[in-house]
Amino acid sequence: MPSYHHLHLVSDATGETVGTVVRACSVQFRQIETIEHAWTMVRTPLHMERVLAGIGANPGPVLFTLVDGKLRRQLTEGCARLAVPCVSILDPVIAVLASHYGVETEGRPGAQHEMDAEYFERIAAMDFALAHDDGAGLETIHKADVILLGVSRTSKTPTTVYLANRGIRAANYPLVPGVALPQEIERAEGPLIVGLTKDPARLVDIRRNRLRMIGGDAKEDDYVDLDSVRREVAEARRLFTRHGWPVVDVTRRSIEETAAAIITRLANHRAEQAEGAAR
């Protein structure tokens, strides 16, 4: 039986940062059910008073991302009076960076959400991903940073979208048994091409569930026949090996973990391209 605890997330912006940290940490405490209280866009002493009143009504740990010194003091002193722990999740990182760079922080609330060049790069990357999903847009696929290849249900589309949200122009193409790879991909020299693979038995389970969801027939045709799927996966792996393309097994990986592996390979790919251009 899980136990329930209140948890307060206080931010001077959207609360996305503190929320992400909390979700990453909370999975380590599966026996605990947290009741999250999100206090966002807290930028005035009056608003902070309302926050402290809410914390007092439902005492629990407080995690915050605040850059204004007065609001920070108001929150930490208020939490001390209420005898609840209060932690800034940004302080350790900011302290290390400030020490290393030898400069002081600017203290701008929500600065990470400003509509700068990086923001527009992410929007452009998302547009690119949508225009090059599932084999579309072959005529411009050479402009991608990354091209993902894989048989059906190897998480190509969600991984592409996740990469796009990181500002990476990603395209994906489905491998179909007996269908040759388009020349547009064979000839693409700039993009990093990555093969995605998955355990055949797991693929069969996912494909069966997919067919049920869309009201299809999950009978033993090649799409869900284990021996056929094994051959399909093996054929895809031979293609990847023949071209020397890196392979990521997504069987036990989340989308985030798959994307992280691809981002690492992309960094190496870009470094190799830069070295080649410098020669």
The Cα–Cα gap between 271 and 222 comes to 41
Known binder of ligand: residue 155?
A: yes
- Contact of 149 with 236, CB cutoff 8 Å: yes
143 is in an annotated binding site: no
Q: How far apart are CA 173 and CA 178, in angstroms?
A: 15
In terms of residues, how long is the chain? 279
Q: CA-CA distance, 19 to 188, in Å (whole number)?
A: 39
Say if residue 154 carries a ligand binding annotation.
yes
What is the C-alpha separation between 165 and 273, in angstroms, rounded?
23
- φ, ψ of residue 108 in degrees (nearest 5): -105, 115
264 is in an annotated binding site: no
Helix/strand/coil for 264: helix
Q: Do the beta carbons of residue 171 and residue 141 sit within 8 Å?
A: yes
- Does the annotation flag 242 for ligand binding? no
H/E segment holding residue 246: none
User: Could you tell me where the beta strands, DSSP code E, fall in 94-199?
Assistant: 146-150, 170-174, 192-197
Alpha helices (H) along the chain: 16-26, 45-57, 69-82, 91-101, 117-131, 156-165, 183-186, 200-213, 226-243, 255-278
Q: Are the CB atoms for 231 and 177 separated by under 8 Å?
A: yes
Q: Helix, strand or coil for residue 173?
A: strand
Is 254 known as a binding-site position? no
Spatial contact of 137 and 175, defined as CB atoms under 8 Å apart: no
Residue stretches of the annotated binding site for ADP: 150-157
Residue stretches of the annotated binding site: 150-157
